[in-house]
Structures are given as C-alpha cells and as structure tokens.
Chains A and B, each alone.
Chain A
C-alpha cells in the first residue's frame, strides 16, 4: 500500500474475529483529511471494533491500516500522538470532577501546570460546563458527560478524532449541542471518524458514509447517494385506535404499494418521498374514517436502509428511548 498524504485513514482488508464471530470482516476505508467520515451500522455491526483497531487499542488479525500516514501496528505511538478517542460509553473518570478530568489529560499530554489550568477553564467555558466544572462527573447528565468527553479529546487539538456514537442516548437538545461541537471541530480542520446508528446524524454531519453490516462494508458514498439508493423517506402515521390498523394498512398499501410494521401497535409507516402524495394519503385515511393522532414524513431509519441494502432488517434495532434510560445520570 503506497501512503497517500491526503488521507487520514487508509485501511485495506482489516479483519478481526473474537472466537467464531467475525467482528470486522475485511474492511477497506479511505478517509480524506479534514472531512467527516460516517460509519453507519446497528449495534454489533463491528463499528466499535473497527475504531479500537484504528485507535491502536487492539491489534487486527489480518489486513493493514495507516492512520495519519503511520502503520497502526509498527508505528502505534506515532498514531497515538495524533489521535483522540471518544468512546461509546463516555471515556471520562466518574470519580473526578470535570475540571480534574481535563487537567489529567492535559498533564498526560505534556501541558505545563499553569497552561493546563487555563486550558481546562477555556474548554469548560466553550463546552458550557463552567458551572459544573467543580462537580464530580458521576453527578453529570448524559449530555454533560458527552460534552466533557469531547472536551477531553481536544485538550490538545488532535489531527484525527474517533467519535463512537456521540449522541446515542441523548435528548434532542443535547444532541444538537454535540452536533454543534462536531461542526466546530470540523471547521477547525480536524478529521473525524464518526460511528453512528442514525442515518440522520450521518446525513447532517458526514461528507461520506460507509454502511457496515456484520463486519462488512455494504455501501459507501455521500449521504445523498446513499439516500437515493434506499428511497428518500417514510410516512409514519399514528392511529387513535390501534384496531383500525388493518383498515389503515389497506389504504396505505393502495397508495404506496407496501407498509412496514412498526414496534408501536398504533403506528404504521410506508416509503414515501413526496409530501404531496403523503398529504393525499392522509386525506384518504380521514375520508375512510380512520382517525389519526399524528403523522410525520421522515428520512429512512437505519432499519429501512438495511432492508433496502441487504434485504434483511438490522440484527439489533437501535432504540433511542431505551438507551436514554441506560445512559442517564
């Protein structure tokens, strides 16, 4: 593999198995410097294993990768000098305060005592944590932890940042804050590898996206290309009376050709890209006496992307509501 200076990550045939499970099964990646590269996949698709290999935390079984121009096995130390990692479960020390966490990382990266104090104060301010800086992290909310986690990753600005599901489990307001932070990092020139379960997140932030399933890249391209390939959206309607589901499904099938099941018994969704046709379908439902409590026209979910790309649903469907509870304070 000839190193390409314009690439922050260059991987060929990365492979890692745990027992019989092929966690990462021959992944090729090319991430340009200064861009956000999204890796989209459900839980267990191999995203975290891939990040852990690229961040030199575990060794691959086969394949090669260069990160910032350095081989991840032979030059692990050089790789570590230019990267930072924000894990799926906040990589901060719960038994220390927010400020102490930043000072700890700053000292380990070689900042002087005085510099590190100023730096910690500056970051706490920028990440909206000034008031909480003196409190133990275990008292933080999920959103505060993620912000501190990202702040800890930029105590010394990295050339490449690994963000592993930075918004999983966050409420919409905290998610928007984290997205704002990520945009700020990118505009400052940092390259980001962003793992996510949400197509919307990849669409909002990433320049290119790889969809991975069972350790393999099954699609790669810009978010626009990806969305075109899977159909551009879904109409979801919520019924007042779940017993009218069959009736409603019949109407939606007539309008759109198919309906997808939904975990909520009172909801139905159908692939639809045209707001006009969606409005017409809603009118049809009303005319047939099916009362609805709400409807939305949204981007396809990861499940739908998977269904379109692989013909099977994702192994484990992501669930924002459930993870909010898991990661709460």
Chain B
C-alpha cells in the first residue's frame, strides 16, 4: 500500500472498500509508528477523531454523493489552529495546557464537511521559524531523512503528509511557512491570497501576513481543501466577502498560451545550483506544455527580507502581548506584577520569539517608528506595486520555493542564515499574493519545490499552472521512505 490522496480516499469511501473508522485507525497506527523518529505531532486527538469518523460514516451513508470529498478523510492541524476543548500550544511553553473554548472558522468548515482530525502538528513556536527546530517541544524530522528538518514553521504538517499518515494537513504561512516545508518535504503547499481564508481561530503571528492553507499530496487536493476553507467570514474583517468561484474549475486547462515570468532576482545568488537546475528543468516542462517563459525583474526583492523582519516582528510584538500570565497559559507567580510579567514571559517564550518581540518593540518605539516601521510599510507598498506591474505582462510567476533542500538539524544556528530560507517566499506574503509549492525533483535524494505565484485573488490560476506541471511529471507520486509503510 502507498500513501493516497484525498480524491483517492473519497472514492474508496464511496465504493465501500474502506470506512472512515478504518482510515482513522490506519492513520493513528501509522502516526504512532512514525512518531518516535518524526515527532510530527504535539498531540494525537484520538477521541475527537473517533467521534468525527463515526459521524462522517453516518454522513456518507446518508448522502454519499452530497457529502464533501473531505468527509471521513483523516487530516491534521498545525497547532496554531484553535479547536474547542483541544490543547492548542502554538509550539510554545507559554500556552502549554491551554484549551481554547472555541473552534476557528477554517477548521470548523472542515469539521462541518466531515473531516476527521487525527492530531495537532508540531511547529516552530508561534510559527516563527523555518525548520520546526524552534518548537518548545522538540523538533520534527523530515520523512526523507529524519536527521534533517522538514522545514517550517508548518514542519509537522508537512512531515505527516510526506510520511503518508494523512493525505492533508492545515498549516499557516506568514513568510513561507506552508510553501517552504512543503518544498523541503516533497509535498504540495498552498498559501491563498491574503483575505481569502478567515484567520479567526488562527493564533496570530503577524496579522497582515498570516494565511491558513493546506499541505497535500496533489494540487487537486490543495484546491479541494482550499475550496472548503475559503470565503468570507463575518468574524474576520480582513477576509474578503466576495464569492470564491470554483477553485477547481481551472484544473486540466493546461498552460497553453499562458505567459509565465521568471523573476531574475529569485534565480540568482543564494540559490543552490542544484535547486536552480531542477527549477529550470521544471520551467522547460512548462514551456513544453505551451507556456511562454520570459525573464522579469522585481528589483526591490533585495529589501524584502529586511522589510519582512520589521513588519512581522512589529505585529508579533503586539500580538504576543496577551501572553502575560494573567488569564491563561503559563504564569510564574511573583508578589510583584512587573516581576510576574517578566518571569512568565522569560520562561514561557523561546529564544527566537524573544528576539522577534524585541525587534518589533524596537521598530515601533517612539523615535524609531519612522525609520523602521513606516519605511518598511512604504517598501512593502513598492514590492506590491512591482508585482502588480509585472503581472501586467505575465499571467503567473515561477521560481524555486526554497534556496536549498532540507538541511541537517542544528546546521543553521545563526538567525540570519535561517531567515534566508524564506527569501523567495516572503515577498509573496508582503504583497498578499497566492503561491504554491509543488515537488519538482530531487537534489540528490532530497525534494526540491517549484513555486508558482499569481496576482491577488487569482488563486485558481496558481492551481492551473501547478496542476499542469504536476500532471506532466511523476514527482508527486514519489513516496518518502516513511510513506512506504502507510496503509
């Protein structure tokens, strides 16, 4: 047996060759077997999953054709997504033991569709990181080589999908946190247009950049999950209420006649030559499918990283102020209020979170605001305008997702080299665009990802290009060593 997609499982459930309960049992057994080496999960949610599997079974029995393709299919949630009554830690000690009294919008939509939640996946603390090594509960491994990182921050979600435990998992992407781990773990990872998926129930890192999205084994699956979670939400004012259309409509249209841009700045210095070679091969495939390729320029790319590392920490410094020991999560008692704050946050937050809170606090401080935050917002606007200008001439952009393949745990111990992981993904967040990573080969035995970027609200075009490429290649059918044991 091999790891299967949502589409395949949905078919099997309807033809009666399996049941939600059997799929769940297999997933749990596989997770438990893989966990000692993988640590993809912070918690398995067996009780919740059994309830959901039973309900999904009834839904399928009642109306097999009307039920969602997600009904009865096991999945996992990054531990930044709130589920009523289920411990949600964001990978942080400060939230250890905290059980939200509510379920977020995107997750609720999946639950309503009959999804079966197997567990909460490991991640960098508060989604800050690119390797999952910043998890307060220990790093996750990469199913292709467990000594290596799966990427991050949605590393647990990428790892469990790549390991074949579940066909999909939700992640969140602030600067590349879905696409980069998807690339490093050899799966599909999609970040929707900012404002397409409600953030209600997503523990905030940087509010103006965060988006929830799926990690899957196929582009079609990504579109299926996206269609289920996207759309307006009265609880999120940044969520666009306009109709979604059918995100799957463009699948199979091919890329004949599409104009694809290759940003010069995304292919140059800092990109591993082998990664560049794989991506160039992928571009050749797209060209062979009838797309026209041209080089384009996004000249302000060099400022993207510093812009991101002002805006994201600034927002995070404010978003994380609520972890003060007063009402929930960790509290280090002290007779002095100030000491209680200091000790709680000192003990509760990890090094990277503290670094970003400090950076952001500094950037927003009186006297520095104009030089840092305000200037960063201006550069952000310039970056968004450059994308908009390029999209006057091309329909989509293609590039590597990550400058390198999965690295060995502990290898990148200085923050700057870690920040470089997101250099070609984070401009997409700054501009609020949709982006996807699809497997496009190996270097030498580790997965490489191809990134496809489209204009805002053209999420379906991302699927169209990625799907055409995927269907023309075999990479997405490659199974990690751990997936070979999936049932």
Asked if A and B are interacting partners, one says: no
Chain A residues within CB distance 8 Å of chain B: none
Chain B residues within CB distance 8 Å of chain A: none
